[in-house]
Structure formats: structure tokens, C-alpha cells
Amino acid sequence: MSLGYAEKLSYKEDTGTVGMTESFDSPQTLQEKIEELATIIKHSKHLVAFTGAGISTSCGIPDFRGPKGVWTLQRDGKIIPEASLPFDRATPSFTHMALVELEKAGILKFLISQNVDSLHLSSGIPRDKLSELHGNSFRELFPSCGREYVRDFEVETIGIKETPRRCSNENCKARLKDTVLDWDDALPPKEVNLADKHCRMADVVLCLGTSLQVTPACNLPLRCIRGGGKVVIVNLQATPKDKKAGLVIHGLVDKVLAGVMQLLNMRIPPYVRIDFLQICFKRLISKDNDQRYVRWALSVGSVHGSRAPLPFVRSVEVLFPESTLLKGAILTKPPFHLTRQMLSRPLQMLVKLNFGDGCSCSCTSIDFPLNFEAPKGSIDDDTDGVVQKLRDSALNDPSRGQCEIVERKSLLSSKSEITTYAIVTNVVRHRCSPVVSPSKENGFVRQTYQNIVKRLNERTDGNEASPKRLK
């Protein structure tokens, strides 16, 4: 979880059991359980995933109750370490992307998350197949109409409080609220009702990286048992629900899912991060002794509003590569704003964006030709099409920083143009490798791999759908 999120929570003396010992199944036991889990997933009819902070620790986000969790360190009076990278630049883990692939294959029917890090949405899980029980640090909501806004920065407040932004609907303009729950806030009805519905429909609920201590969310997975379903828990620590689970695996979630995906012969899609920004250009032409001058202003900002932060951009350089008389500028503090006055003539300008920590490329450049005589013309491309084009380009080109125009609109009243760009800022490839490598010394693993295809195609009685569920 975000350290900032933990600091925003109100004080609570009892945060549950923390600092429990982590357990690891032996390599042989782990491989047997991974094989069993792969069989369960392969033959499931309605698979639901239930995730906790443990699936995000490999992303650089600390958990709460682990040996080095936020609550554990606080209890022991120890200093909480700073996050290894900005919260808004965390990238989805192997587990996040494995769940995306299972959903695309039609195996995973629904996902329930207790996390507020927005990594499930970033990974590509459809919003209508996701319940975020405790909210999302990057999502704002207008409660009356249910309109949602997903940001690329962490929202300032928690506890369903008003934020500095307003609904974009011209007939509304009401103040938005954050979606992250504080300790005493009730679960949002829409999210919990969907989660409850799918847990009751499920024949398998797969709990990943969760201590299953936070109520009432932790009781949802048990709903499937009443209909003949099975709960599977993958966690390093013991949980209060272990005795009711059909299978408990003590292992790193990423390694367990890596083994499962390999046995199912499923690849893990690369994660491509695409960010958006706007460049606003305003001009005012005037005459001085028959010379035409133009005073113009350039602003580089967020698509979420002029006052919203642009966290992935560290600085902006404005260059004039074809002119030795014009001096460039380096903008180091947001809002990135530059004003100049010069003769009104066509000119080539280069806007160089220098990215911050967590981006796999250090910078990218945008050619921005200046023509003060007429607007450049409007563009309104299909955003999904542009994003898909950039994804394909990023996967085929090892360089980063590819960008495309999504929209350009001219505002005649203010003599300005606003251009929206989509930019590839990160590409992460996950490799699916076996948890235990076959070797001459490990006859069990050799035998397991030789028989895996046969075993996966055998349906056991325990995996048959119950008559109640079929009805």
C-alpha cells in the first residue's frame, strides 16, 4: 500500500494481527500444489480472484501486516522506509498481468480487490469486471450520478471527502469526492454487491496475497462454499480462513502464478504504460512600425485540468533548432509555462519532455511547428485506436517515448490551440519461468513435467460442478 495512504488514515489502536511469521512450502510441496491449482483453474466454471496487498509488494509498494509491513513497523516503533519509487509510477506485477490474461481467455470471470493502488485498472482489467472494495487512490467520483474519473496522480484526500476538482458535466460542475475508505467508512454498495454476487456464483475463489483479516471484506470469499465452491488461498502467512479453504499455498504469489501460467501454456502480456498530457498554445498578433509581432504563451499540463499535477514530467525544454537568434528555455517547475514575443513568421519549435523516476525512457521530443497565420486544424482521433497503435509500436521498437496526437482543438475566442498527446513511458515484459527447474537431482520435478499434460486433462470428482450450481 502507499505510505501516503497509510499516513492519511485516521488513528486506530487495533489494526489486527501483524508481523506474523512467513512460511514457505518445500519445493516439492509447492510444485504439487501449483499443479493442483492449475488443474482447479483449468476446470473452473466461474473463477473469481480476491486480491490483497501481497500482490503489489513486488511492485515496490509495502504491505501492512507482513514482517516489514507498515503496521508491523509502527507497532515496533521502527521508522517506515520510503517507497522505492513514486506511488503513481508503480507498474503491475506478474500476478496482475497473469490475471489480465486469465480474464482475456474467459477463465477469470470477476476480480475483487482490497487494494487502493489502481494497479488492476492499469494492468488492463475491465472496470465492469472489477470491484475495488476499499476504493482507489487514483479515482474520483461524483456520487449523485456515479460518474468516475481515473487520474494519473494520487488524489489528495481519503475518507470520501471533497477534492479540489469538479464534475466535467456542464450542467453539474459539482465537487468530486475521493473513493478511498477510512477505517469507519462502510463498503460502497455498488462494489460490495457485485463482489457478493460473483462470490455466490463462483465455483472457485482464488485469494492472492491477503491476510483475510479486514472485515467485512474477508468474509466474501466464503460465500462460494455454500454453493459447493472451493476457496484457494495463496499467502505467505497463515490466515483466519485457512481451515475452510480447499487448498492453501505458502509461497510468493508471483512464483505461484508463474508456475500455474506455464502449466496452462499461457503467455503473460507485456505491460505498456501510456500517459497523456496537453500542450496549450496561445497567440496575440500586433503591429509595431509595420512589423508584425506575435506574443505567444506555451503551457504543458495535465489532461485532468490546469491545476492538476503532471507527475511523470520532471522538466520541459523548449528549443528552436533552426534559429541561432532565439534562445531556448528550461522549465523546471510546474505549471510548465513559457511566454515569448517575436516576429510573426513560421518557425520550428521542439518541445523536449524530461521524464521522472519510474519511466523506462528519460525523455521524448515533440516537433511543434509555429505558424502564426492560421490554426493548425482540428484533430479528434479514436483514443482507443491511437493507444493500440502506440502499444504495437512500443512492443516492436525497443526505444521508448513514442507519441501520437489524440486530439487538437482550436479556441477562436482565446486564439489558442490545445493538443492532447499520448506517450509511451514504460514497457515491462514478464517472463513465465518454472518455480523449480528440472534437474538430474530432482526426480520428482522431472516426473511432474513429463506427466503434466495428462494430469491437467484429468477431471477429478472434486472439480465437478455441484447440482445446486448447475441449477
> What's the pLDDT at 74?
63
Assign residue 38 the CATH number of its domain: 3.40.50.1220
In terms of domains, do 84 and 186 share one?
A: yes
> Is the CB of residue 80 less than 8 Å from the CB of residue 70?
yes
Cα dihedral 48, 54, 60, 66, rounded to 10, equals 170
With contact defined as beta carbons under 8 Å apart, do 256 and 32 qualify? Answer: no
Which structural domain, as residue segments, surrounds residue 203? 3-137+180-269
CA-CA distance, 174 to 260, in Å (whole number)? 47
pLDDT for the residue 325: 81
pLDDT at 189: 94
DSSP string, 253-301: HHHHHHHHHHHTT-PPPPEEEEEEEEEEEEEEEEEETTEEEEEEEEEEE
Considering the candidates 134, 250, 304, 430, report the single residue annotated as catalytic: 134
User: 117 near 130, Cβ under 8 Å?
Assistant: no
Q: Is there a single domain that holds both residue 45 and residue 75? A: yes
Q: What is the pLDDT of residue 129?
A: 98
Backbone angles phi, psi at 158, to 5 degrees: -135, 165
| Residue where a domain stops, chosen among 246, 269, 292 | 269
Burial class from Cβ neighbours inside 10 Å (0-12, 13-18, 19+) for residue 246 reads middle
Domain count, the chain: 2
CATH code of 277's domain = 2.60.40.1970
Last residue of a domain, one of 269, 299, 325: 269
How many other CB atoms are there within 10 angstroms of residue 118's CB atom?
23
Q: Is 134 one of the annotated active-site residues of the chain?
A: yes
pLDDT score of 452? 44
* Final residue in a domain of this structure, among 252, 269, 286: 269
Same-domain status, 254 and 309:
no
**Residue 347 maps to a domain:** yes
Q: Is 129 found in the same domain as 20?
A: yes
Residues 131 and 226 grouped into a single domain: yes
Residues 208 and 121 grouped into a single domain: yes
Pair 316, 400 in one domain? yes
Question: Are the beta carbons of 444 and 31 closer than 8 angstroms?
Answer: yes
Grid cell 454476487 in the structure block, residue: 197
How confident is the model at residue 212, as a pLDDT? 94
Examine the domain organization and report whether 231 and 90 are in the same domain: yes
How does 57-78 read in b/e, with b if 16+ C-beta sit within 10 Å? bbbbbbbbbbeebbbbbeeeee
The pLDDT of residue 459: 42
* Residue 36 and residue 10 share a domain: yes
pLDDT at 284: 77
Ordered per-residue pLDDT tens for the chain, 471 residues:
444 666 666 555 555 566 578 899 999 999 999 999 999 999 999 999 999 989 998 888 876 666 666 656 665 666 666 666 788 999 999 999 999 999 999 999 999 999 999 999 999 999 999 999 999 999 999 877 778 999 999 999 999 999 999 888 777 778 999 999 987 889 999 999 999 999 999 999 999 999 998 889 999 999 999 999 999 999 999 999 999 999 999 999 999 999 999 999 999 989 999 999 999 999 876 666 666 788 899 999 999 988 899 999 999 999 999 888 889 999 999 889 999 888 878 889 999 999 998 898 999 999 998 877 666 667 887 899 999 999 999 988 877 789 999 999 988 766 889 999 999 999 999 876 544 444 433 443 334 434 444 544 554 444 433 333 322
Residue 222 DSSP code? G
Q: Looking at the structure, do residues 246 and 375 belong to the same domain, yes or no?
A: no
Q: Which is it for strands 291-301 and 416-428: parallel, antiparallel or unpaired?
A: unpaired
